[in-house]
A and B are shown apart, each in its own frame.
Chain A
Amino acid sequence: MRKFVETLVDEISRVLLGKEDKIKLALTCLLADGHLLIEDLPGMGKTTLSHALAKVFGLTYNRVQFTSDMLPADILGISIFDAQQQQFTFHQGPIFTQVLLADEINRTTPKTQSALLEAMEERQVTCEGKTYILPQPFFVIATQNPLSQMGTFPLPESQLDRFLMRISIGYPDAETEKILFKGGDTREQLAQLRVCLPIEELVELKRHIQQIKVSESLVDYVHRLVNFTRTSDDILVGLSPRGAMALIKAAKTWAFMHERAYVVPEDVQYLFSAVVAHRLIPKGSAPVFAQENLVKKILSSVAVVNS
C-alpha cells in the first residue's frame, strides 16, 4: 500500500516540487472524501496541485474563477429553452466534474458561495425542481487569498466547517526553488502526468480506510481535545461534532497512508492544525495566525494518555 502513496506523491512532486507533506495532506483529504481549502498567496502552486491531483487519479477537472458578479447558475448550470424540442433542457455548469478548482472563492457573493457549498455537502445539484447527481468522486479544492481582503466576502464559519482541511502551500525552500527556476513549463509537465490510481482502486482504498481501527483510548483523546476547544477561555466557539468526526476520518486515512491498521495520537496531532484550525473562532479580533497558535496551545495542553 505504501507503494501507491509513494507513487502518487512522487508523481505530483514532479510538478509541485518540495511540497511532499502538503501533497500528502491533499491526498488524505481526497481519500477521506473531504473538500480542501487552500489559503495562500497567488502563484504558490494551488492550481498546479489541484490539477495534478485530478490527473494522477484520472479524474475530470474543471476550474472556476470566482468573481463578484457571478451567479449560482454560472456554476451549477442553467435550463435553456430548446426551440426544436419545444422544452427546457438543462445545461450542466462547470460543477459537473470530479475535481473542481474554485479559485478565489471569497471573491464571489454569499449567494453563489452557498450554492457551491451546498452542492459540496449534498453532492447533488437541484435546479428548477430537478435533482442532478454530481459525478463520483466529487472533490472541491477552493482557494482564497488571505491577504487582500478588499471587496471580498469571507466565508462564514458554517461554510468553512464543510471543508475537511485548510492548508497553505507556502514558499518552497531555496534549493527547490532554484530547481523550479531551472525547470520547464509547468503546463507541459502537467500534461505528462500519468494516471497512477484508477478510479476503481480508489473506491477499494476507501473501503480499506473504513476498517482502520480507532481505539477507545484514541477516541478519548479526541474527545478531550474537542472538549478543550469548547471549554477553553481563548476560544469563542469550539469544535462541532462534525469537526471531530472529520478529524477522526482524516486520521484514519492518514494512518492508512502510513500503513498502519490503527490510528495513533501522532496522526491526530499531525492533522489537527489542517482539520481544526479553520473551524475555531478565537476570542477577540485575532488574525489568522491566532488560529495556528491556538492549535499549538490546544495540543500542548491536552494530555494524550489519560492518567
Chain B
Amino acid sequence: MILLNKSLKAEKVMAISSPILRSSLVWLFVVQIFILAPHFFNVPAWIAVVWVGVVFWRWKVFQGAWNYPNKLRKTLVVLMCSAGLVASLGVNVSLVNMVSLLLVAFILKLLEMKNRKDFVLLVYIAFFILATQFIVFSNILSAFYGFFCLALLCTLLMQLYQSPVSYKNTSSHKNKLPHKNTLKNLWASLTPSIFILLQAIPFMFVLFVVMPRLGSFWAVPTPQHSKTGMSDSMSPGDISELIKSDELAFRVTFNGDIPANEKLYWRSLVFSHFGGRRWSQAPQQLARQDFKTSNQPISGWREKIEYLGDKTTYNIIAEASGQPWLYVLAAPETWSNDLLLGSDLHLQATAPVTQRISYTLTSALNYRFEEGVQNAIELNQNLQLPITGNPETRRIAGEWFAETGNAEKLIEKLFHYYHNNFSYTLRPPSLGDDSVDEFLWQSRQGFCEHFSSSFVFFMRAAGIPARVVVGYQGGELNTVENYLAIRQRDAHAWAEVWINHRGWVLYDPTSAVAPERIRRGIAESLNATDQKLLSQHFGSSLQLVMLMRDQWDALNFQWVRWVMNYDSTLQTALLSKFLHDVNPLRIALLVLGAGGISVMLTFAVLFFCSRRKKISALERSAQSVYQQLCKKLKGCGVAPVTGECPRHFVLRAATVRPDLAPLLNQIIDLYEQMVYAENVSVLMDLKRKLANFSSKK
C-alpha cells in the first residue's frame, strides 16, 4: 500500500507519457516469464506461443521496424485468441477459463503499451495475475515463488521511476552502452525491493491474523479436473490404477497414540449395489434424511452405535478431491459440525471438496453397530445380486453355507480358500463377464477390489448380508511431525458382513492373502515387478531421500495447517483468546496496536542496522545536501566544474554574489565539517542554513 502510494505520488512528478526505455521493456518481458510460468500448468499451452509472438512484435515495434497493430489487426488478433479460448476450453464459466482469458488479455495488452502510463498499468495488472497463480499452486514453495515474483515486480516499478536519471547519466558518458548500465541498475534495485518486501512482512503477518476471512463463496476453488481419488463406484482395476499415484489424499494427526496399522481402515464410501461388474451406492444410501450432523440430538440409527473401549480423537486435513466424501475411522462419535455422517458410517461434506479442508473427529475403534437390515428393503439391498451371472459362485456359496451352517464359519472357510490358492498382484489377468466366477475359480490373482468384490458376492450368494467398503488403509508415519500421510497408493477395498447379534463386522479378505499389506503397508506386500508399477520414489530405500521427503512433507503439513487452513473459525478462536470479547473496536485496536508495533519494530531494526552503516547514510545525506547546494547556486549562475572542490565552488559563487558570502562561508564550513570530519551533528544546522539560503536578491 505504501509502495503504491509512493509510486502514485511519483507518477505525478514523472512525465507520464514519456517513452518506455529498452531496459524497462526487457525487464518487463523477463518478469512476465516468471509470472506466467506457473499458469502454464493449468491453461492451454498455445497461450505461451501467443506470448512469444506478442513479445516479438512488441520488440520489433520498439526497434522501429514494425508498427503498433492497427484497429483491424488488433481485432483480428483478439478474435483469433478468443476463438482459441473457446476451442480449447469451451464456453462455460469456470476458473481456468477466466484465468486464461485474463492471461490472454494481459499478454495482448503489450501491443497497446505505448507510453509509461500504459506500462504502469500493465505492471499493476501483473500484480493481480501474480495473485491468481495461487489458484494453481498453494504449497509453501509457491509462496516463496510468489514472494520472489513480487520482488521482481517491485523492482520493475522502482526501476521505472529511476531510469530517467540513470538514462541521463549514461547518455552523458557516450563511451558506455546505456542498456548495459541500466541492466546493472536492475540487479542493484532487486536487492532494495526484496528489502522493502521483507520490511512489510511483520505488518503482513498482522493483517493475515486479523483480516476478516471471507467465506467459502469467495474462497479459491481448486480446478476440478485431473483429481485422483475414490470415485463413486468401483469396478475391477479401479483401485489398482489409483494406487499407482503417489499423490497425497489426506494427513492425520492423532491426539495421543497412533493406533496400530491394522486398525487404520479409513472409510470413504460403502457400496451396497452390485451391477454385475461395478459396485456403487444404493439409492437408499444417498437419501439425505439419513445423514446426521454431530450436534443433532442422537436419534434414529445413531442410537444403535454402541461404542466399546477407548476413543481416539484425530484431526484430518484432506486434500481437494472434487468429491464430497471424506475419511473416517471406525465409528465416529463426534465430528465437525458442517459434515454429515451417513447411516453406513461414511462421512461427507455438503459439497464437493474443492479445496483443502480440515476436520476433527472422535471415533471408537471398537464398536457394535446393528443397523441397516431391519426391514425388507434394507435386507434386500444388502443381499442384492444381479439376476444372472456368476453361476458357479452362487452354486458353491450355497453348498459351502449348507456345509458350514453359519456365517462366521463360512467366512473362515472362504478365507482359508483365499489364503491357500490366491496371490496378491497389481497386474491381474483381465476378467470376462462372469468376473467373480473367473476370479474365484480360475485366475485366482487379484488386488483388493477383486477380493472384496468376490467376497461380498459370495456372502450375498450364500444369503448373508454384506457390502463393500472403499477407502484407504494404513498410512505413512511422518516422524518429523508425527502425523500420518495417507496417499492414493494406500487406497483399499474391504467388506462388512452382517452377523446376527454382532451387527456389521469388518472383514478384509485381502488380509487373508497378503496379511503384510494390512500390517505394514502396500510397499511391503508387492513383489519387485509390481513395485515398479508404483510411483518411483515410493518404496525407495535411500534413507536420506526418505528423510528429506519426510521433512519436506512435514513442512508442507505445517504450512497447510497454519496458513492454508487459517479460516474464520480458527481466526475467531485465536482472536477471542487474545481479546476475550471480539468486537469491532477491539479488532480495530488490535490492528492499530499490533500494526503499529510491527511497523515500529521494523523501523527499530532498520535504525540499528543503519547505525552500523552510519557512514554510508552520512554519505547519502552528504550527497543530497551537495545536490541541493548545486541547485541553489545555479540561481547565482554558478555551476560546479568537474574536479572542483566544494569549497572552491562555493567561494566562486561568493565572488559572484558578495552579499551572500557570509552565509556561503558558513555553509561550506559546515559542509566540510559534516562530509570530511564526519561530524553528523552539524547536519541539522547545515540543512537549516541551506533551507534559508535563497539566491534571489
A: residues with CB less than 8 A from B are: 213, 215-218, 220, 261-266, 269, 299-307
Contact = CB atoms under 8 A, between A and B. Distances in A.
A302 B642 contact: yes
A261 B678 CA distance: 11
Contacts of A301: 642-643
Contacts of A218: 676
B642 A300 contact: yes
* Consensus secondary structure, chain B interface: helix
A261 B677 contact: yes
B645 A266 contact: yes
Interface in B646-695: 646-648, 672, 675-678
A305 B642 contact: no
Interface stretch (B14-22, B478-486, B620-628): B620-628
A299 B643 contact: yes
6 contacts: A216-B615, A216-B678, A217-B619, A266-B645, A304-B644, A306-B623
Contacts, number: 61
B646 A305 contact: yes
Contacts of A262: 672, 676-678
A300 B643 contact: yes
Contacts of A305: 622-623, 626, 640, 646
Given A217-B619, A303-B643, A264 B626 contact: no
A218 B675 CA distance: 8
Most buried by B among A216, A220, A263: A216
B55 interface: no
A299 B642 CA distance: 8
A217 B641 CA distance: 18
Contact of B626 (A216, A261, A302, A307): A307
B672 A264 contact: yes
A264 B678 contact: no
A183 to B, nearest CB: 37
Contact of A307 (B623, B645, B677): B623
B627 A307 contact: yes
A213 B643 contact: no
Most buried by B among A218, A262, A300: A262
Interface in B605-638: 615-616, 618-619, 622-623, 626-627, 630
A-B pairs, 4 with minimum CB distance: A262-B677, A300-B643, A265-B645, A216-B615
Nearest to A270: B645
A47 B644 CA distance: 36
A299 B676 CA distance: 19
Contacts of A304: 643-646
Nearest to A255: B676
* Consensus secondary structure, chain A interface: mixed
A302 B619 contact: no
Contacts of A306: 619, 623
Contacts of B623: 305-307
Given A213-B676, A216-B678, A266 B648 contact: yes
Contacts of A303: 642-643
A300 B630 CA distance: 18
A301 B672 CA distance: 21
Contact of B676 (A264, A302, A307): A264
A263 B672 CA distance: 9
A218 B674 CA distance: 12
Contacts of B646: 265, 304-305
A300 B640 CA distance: 11
Contact of B675 (A215, A266, A269, A307): A215
Nearest to A300: B643
A263 B647 CA distance: 13
A305 B672 CA distance: 11
B240 to A, nearest CB: 72
Contacts of A300: 641-643
A262 B647 CA distance: 14
Contacts of B619: 216-217, 220, 306
A148 B427 CA distance: 104
B676 A215 contact: yes
Contacts of B622: 217, 305
Given A262-B676, A307-B627, 5 more contacts: A215-B675, A266-B645, A300-B643, A304-B643, A304-B645
A262 B627 CA distance: 22
B626 A269 contact: no
Most buried by A among B615, B627, B676: B676
A264 B615 contact: no
B683 to A, nearest CB: 14
Nearest to A213: B677
Contacts of A307: 623, 626-627, 630
A265 B648 CA distance: 10
Nearest to A263: B676
Contacts of B645: 264-266, 269, 304
A260 B362 CA distance: 82
Contacts of B648: 266
Nearest to A214: B676
A302 to B, nearest CB: 6
A305 B675 CA distance: 10
